[in-house]
Amino acid sequence: MNYRQRLQQRMDDTGRPLRVGLIGAGQMGRGFAAQLLKMPGVSLSAVFDVQRDRAVEAFEQAGIAPSSATDADQAARAVENGESVAMGGVEEIGALPLDIVVEATGVPDVGARTAIDALASGMDYATLNVEQDVTVGRYMLRLAEESGQIYSVCRGDEPVETKILVDFARDLNFEVICAGKGKNNPLDPYATPEGLAAEAARKKMNPKMLTEFVDGSKAMIEMAALANTTGLEMSKRGMYGPESTVPTLHDTFALQEDGGVLDRPGVVDYCIGPVSPGVFVVVRTDDPYVQHEMAYLQMGDGPYFSFYRPYHLASIEAPLTVYEIALDRQPSLTSEHWTSEVGAESKRALKAGELITGIGTDTIRGVADPADDFARDNAVPLGILAGARLTRDVPADQMLTYDDVELDESSLIVTMRRHQEALARGEEVPSLKELQASIHR
C-alpha cells in the first residue's frame, strides 16, 4: 500500500487524522503546509510563528479558518475537536495533543528548543533545519532515542535525496567514489543581504536565506549533513566545487590518477554548472561483466558511472518524512556518523568587540571541514556563532576558532553543542527531561 492508502487506513483505524504541528510559517513552512494538506488522513493541527499573522496566513492559503484559541488550554481543546490553531510563539508546543512536529525556521537555537519540548512531550520531530543537525545532530539523535520518539531531517533537501542514491549504490555493491549536489546559485563567497536585497525581493525570499545560498554556506551545511548520515568523508576543507555537467560527472569526480579532481574515494563534494538542482553519486566497478552491462544500458564505458536525480523538491517533498515516521517508524536522515563539521570563515576583516551576526550575513560564511581537521584546529561551529563577540581582530578569509570569539553562553544551541562535545569524550550529559527543565526555569 502506498502512503495515501495507508494514511487513510490509519484514520479509519484510529478515528482521527494524523495531527501535525508546523513551526515557522515562512517560505519553506508554507510550501510544506500546502503540500501536506493535499493528503487524506492528515491534519495540519497547529502552526507556530513569532508573527501570528503569518501562521494564520499559512492556513488561509489552504482555505482553512483557524480557531480563535489563543492560550494553551483553548488550543489543546480545539485540536482535540479537530480544529486548527495559529499560535504566536512556541511555548505551547508541549501542551497540544500533536503526533509529530515539523520545524522550518532555519534557526538552530529555535530548532533545538522546540525539538526538546516535542520529544519530551511524546511527539516525533522532523526538521527542515539542516543547520541545526550539523551542529548538534548527534546529541539530538541521543535525545530522541532516550525519548522513544523519532527525530529526522526532512526529505526534499539535497542531503536526504542524495543519501537515497548512496543507499541504492551500496545496495548494488558499487564502490561509492563521491556523492553530492549541483550548486543552485552562482558562487559569491562575499555575498551580503544588502547586495542581494533586490534579487531576494524578486524571488520572494528572505535576503539572509538567499545570502546563505549564494555565499556557499548552504552547500557546505548540506554536504556535511550528507557525510554525517552516510559515513562518507568531506573531500577537503571547503570541498573542490569544480565545474561539471551531468554527462561528465563521472569524469569530474574520478580519482586524480584517472583524470578527476579527487585524491581518494568515499567523499562528498559539490559542483558548479548545469547539474543543479539535481543530486548525484559517482560509483566505480572493476567487474568486467558489470561494466559491459552498464555500457549496454548506456551508462558509459566505465569503470566510473554516475547516478543522477535531476531535481529535489525541498519543502514540497518534506511531507514524505512525516509519513515515513508515522507509518514506518523510520527517520529519513539522522547523523549516525560524525565525519564532517561546518565552521566559519570571515567575509571581511573583523574587529575585536564586533558582534557575529550569524549565517547569511555580512560577517561570516560556512566552510565544511573533515571532523578531525576541525578539532585539530580548534575551529568553532558555524551554528553556534550567532551573537558571539570577537575577542581579537581577525583578517578576511580566516577560519574562526574558539580562541577568536566569546560565545553567547545563554544560547541553548551553544549549551547543546557543549553537551555534544562532552558526549564525544565519553562524559555524562543531561537527560532529555533535565534539558527541558533547564530551558523552562
Tens digits of residue pLDDT in 163-177: 999 999 999 999 999
Query: Does an H or E element contain 96, and which?
Result: none
Alpha helices by DSSP H, listed for 156-277, are 158-171, 197-203, 207-214, 217-230, 249-252
Banded pLDDT at 63 (limits 50, 70, 90) = confident
Read off the C-alpha cell for 102. 515539523
Distance CA 305, CA 356 (A): 43
Give yes or no for a contact between 280 and 164, defined as CB atoms under 8 angstroms apart: no
Give yes or no for a contact between 115 and 140, defined as CB atoms under 8 angstroms apart: yes
Q: How far is CA 381 from the centre of its chain?
A: 15
Read off the C-alpha cell for 369. 571541514
Query: Does an H or E element contain 126, and which?
Result: strand 124-127
Distance CA 223, CA 293 (A): 31
Residues 13-31 pLDDT 10s: 999 999 999 999 988 999 9
Alpha helices by DSSP H, listed for 266-328, are 288-296, 319-323
Pairing of strands 175-182, 267-271: parallel
Q: 137, 49, 132, 99: which is closest to 329 by C-alpha?
A: 99
Residues 86-109 pLDDT 10s: 999 898 999 999 999 999 998 888
Alpha carbons within 13 angstroms on the beta-carbon side of residue 424 total 17
Mean pLDDT of 415-439: 94
Whole-structure pTM over 0.85, yes or no?
A: yes
Distance CA 14, CA 320 (A): 20
Residue 62: is its pLDDT beyond 90? no
Of 66-75, 285-294, 321-330, 365-374, the one with minimum mean pLDDT is 66-75
Domain boundaries, the chain: 3-156+316-328, 158-314, 340-439
Distance CA 279, CA 79 (A): 39
- The domain defined by 340-439 folds into Type Iii Antifreeze Protein Isoform Hplc 12 (3.90.1210)
Residue 124 φ then ψ, to 5°? -75, 160
Banded pLDDT at 307 (limits 50, 70, 90) = very high
Distance CA 4, CA 94 (A): 28
Residue 1: is its pLDDT beyond 70? no
* Amino acid at position 33, single letter: A
The residue to which cell 564586533 is assigned: 354
Distance CA 27, CA 128 (A): 12
pLDDT of amino acid 202: 93
Q: 250, 235, 300: which is closest to 280 by C-alpha?
A: 250
Mean pLDDT of 309-329: 96
The β-bridge partners of 271 are 182
Q: Is 269 left (phi over 0), alpha (psi -120 to 50) or beta?
A: beta
Mean pLDDT of 365-377: 98
Read off the C-alpha cell for 331. 527517520
Please spell the DSSP secondary structure of 354-398, one letter per residue.
Answer: PBP--TTSSSEEEEEEEHHHHHHTTB--GGG-TT-EESS-B-TT-
Mean pLDDT of 62-79: 92
Banded pLDDT at 441 (limits 50, 70, 90) = confident
Q: 106, 95, 114: which is closest to 45 by C-alpha?
A: 95
Instruction: Share the mean pLDDT of the chain.
Output: 95
Mean pLDDT of 425-430: 94
Q: How far is CA 227 from CA 8, 36, 73, 234, 275, in A?
A: 36, 28, 43, 7, 20
Q: pLDDT over 70 for what percent of the chain?
A: 100
- The domain defined by 3-156+316-328 folds into Rossmann fold (3.40.50)
Q: How far is CA 288 from the centre of its chain?
A: 39
